Structure 1
Amino acid sequence: MTRHALIIEDEILIAFEVQGVLEELGFDSFDLACSPTEALALAQAHRPDLITADLRIVGGTGLEAVEAITEQMGPIPVVYVTANADLLRGHCAPAVVEKPIAWPVLADACNRVCGLTA
């Protein structure tokens, strides 16, 4: 079974590192987006099983991107990966991994939102 992830991140090296962690978790298909508009277009073209999103990205925020995607496509598991976790106060954010990223923490958060661990 193919597992597809959308990585919303404007720093390409971080995006590739996130992809590496997700590959270890069994994801085998990826889209990388650096703006809310690009993220929505990619999600519409290939529905993701998981979204990872940085908050501060080109042309907006990861939060805006996720809200636009889920408004059109319904619920999708999300992990926010950010150095700006304080900006998520007041928003429903089931999983937040702070930068600098501890890769085991990211793996655990992804598994948790995908329902793979308790």
Structure 2
Amino acid sequence: MTCRILVVEDEIFVATEIEHVIEEMGFIPVGIAAEQRSALALASQADVALVDLNLRDGATGINIGRILAQTHGVTVMFMTANPAQLGDGVPGTIGVLPKPVTDQDLRDAVNYIVARRRAADAAPPRRLRLFGQSDTFDMVQG
């Protein structure tokens, strides 16, 4: 089963690089959304979403992540240079990968969240801060 991934990011160069890495990994990018309206329009096509916090329409990323996860059943991981804005996390979402990220950081995190979505055992990558976890090195049951 191929995983469909939505990129919610307003910096077009960052977003296209993320899409490129996703495609190289064999996953299907369903689109780039730069604000809430387009993100929610693509929600039904996505299994996983990579969501930045500060977008074209302001700091809407937290709300987008919450809606994608809780209303549409999308597995959500935040990617932001401002991880402190997430506090203890957003219910229904996996965690946050602090920016900047290398292509390898991105691959590791995407592989982990896809494994979680598929209910497979997987160890979280070192840079991914999981919500509701005391230690990102804990093994997490999908």
Q: TM-score range by the shorter chain?
A: 0.7 to 0.9
CA distance, structure 2, for counterparts of residue 65 and residue 21 of structure 1: 22
Alpha-carbon offset, residue 27 of structure 1: 1.1
Helix, strand or coil at the partner of 1:30: strand
Deviations 1:23-78 (A, max 9, x none): 1221134211011121011113x2x121001111122421111212223212x222
CA distance, structure 1, for counterparts of residue 20 and residue 109 of structure 2: 15
Helix, strand or coil at the partner of 1:79: strand
Within-5 A mapping of 1:1-118: 1-44=1-44, 46=45, 48-59=46-57, 60-74=59-73, 76-92=74-90, 93-115=93-115, 117-118=122-123
Q: Which runs of 4+ in 1 moved over 3 A?
A: none
Q: CA RMSD in A?
A: 1.8
**Relative contact order (alpha carbons < 8 A, sep ≥ 6): 1 or 2 greater?**
1
CA distance, structure 1, for counterparts of residue 95 and residue 107 of structure 2: 11
Which one-letter code corresponds to 2:20 in the other structure? G
- Unpaired runs of 5+ in structure 1? none
Alpha-carbon offset, residue 80 of structure 1: 1.2
CA distance, structure 2, for counterparts of residue 14 and residue 29 of structure 1: 14
CA distance, structure 1, for counterparts of residue 114 and residue 4 of structure 2: 12
Count of aligned pairs: 115
- Work out the percentage of aligned pairs sharing the same amino acid: 34
Which one-letter code corresponds to 1:33 in the other structure? A
Q: Which has the larger radius of gyration?
A: 2
- Unpaired runs of 5+ in structure 2? 124-142
